[in-house]
Structure formats: structure tokens, C-alpha cells
Amino acid sequence: MSYASRASMAYKSTAVQTSNEKLVVMLYDGWLSALEIAKDAIETGDLARAHTQLVKAQNIVNELNNTLDMQYEVSKQLRQLYEFFLRQLVEANVQKSVQPIVEQYPIVKGLRDTWEQAIKQLGASMV
């Protein structure tokens, strides 16, 4: 079995065993990781790596945006925020600038931490 096949099976196994809420946290973790790597790559002049990571971040934002349940007001606000983040990511990629990344990171971290806290509170209330 190839490495790619094993990785795909491991991913599917993890995804099946993980709640939707935890998947959201995992997406935020991937977004933060991509931002960190892209920032480092821009600073060290590895523009191809920066591009790859910024596109990865864009894909994650698009996934989060596409899964919003628009019947809630918070989803409408998140959609606007995600669209702003997408514009920042494109700007960072085109201009190879760390500024949009630096501005975005703490907000994304706050969203991630909020999701994690909500999951903990939800778990505690179900026990």
C-alpha cells in the first residue's frame, strides 16, 4: 500500500471519528499553521513555499465559508470576516507581504480558541 493510500485511510478514519465541531478547530489549526509557514517563507525568500501555504490558507477559509449555516446572524458576520481574510491572503500572496498575515493571525487564533472553548463547554454540559 502506498504512502498516499495509507495517509488517505488515516485521514478518513480520523474524520469519521471526529465531531463537526472538532473538525472546525482542526481547520483553524491548519489555517494558523499555513499562516506561520507562509510568513516564515516570505521572510526567508522562499516565495514558492509562501505561495503554496497562502493558497492552502485560502482553501481552508473557503471551506469554512462554504459550511456556514446562513440562518444565523453570526454566520453572516463570519462570512464577511472570511471574505475579508480571503482578500488579505490574496494581497499577501501577490505582494509577498507579511503584514496581512500578521494582522490576520491573532483574529484567527481567537476564533479557533473560541471554538475550542465552546466544545469544552458543550461537552461539560452533556455529562
C-alpha 100/C-alpha 119 separation (Å) is 29
Q: How far apart are the first and last CA of the chain?
A: 41
Which residue is listed with cell 493558497?
A: 55
Tell whether the model's pLDDT for residue 123 goes beyond 90.
Answer: no
pLDDT reported for residue 19 = 80
Q: What is the pLDDT of residues 62-120, one digit of tens each?
A: 999 999 999 999 999 999 999 999 999 999 999 999 999 999 999 999 999 999 999 99
C-alpha 75/C-alpha 77 separation (Å) is 5
pLDDT reported for residue 122 = 83
Confidence of residue 8 (pLDDT cuts 50, 70, 90): low
Cell readout for 100 is: 496581512
pLDDT reported for residue 15 = 46
Query: 62: which DSSP letter?
Result: H
Dmax of the chain from CA atoms? 50
Q: What is the pLDDT of residues 30-46, one digit of tens each?
A: 999 999 999 999 999 99
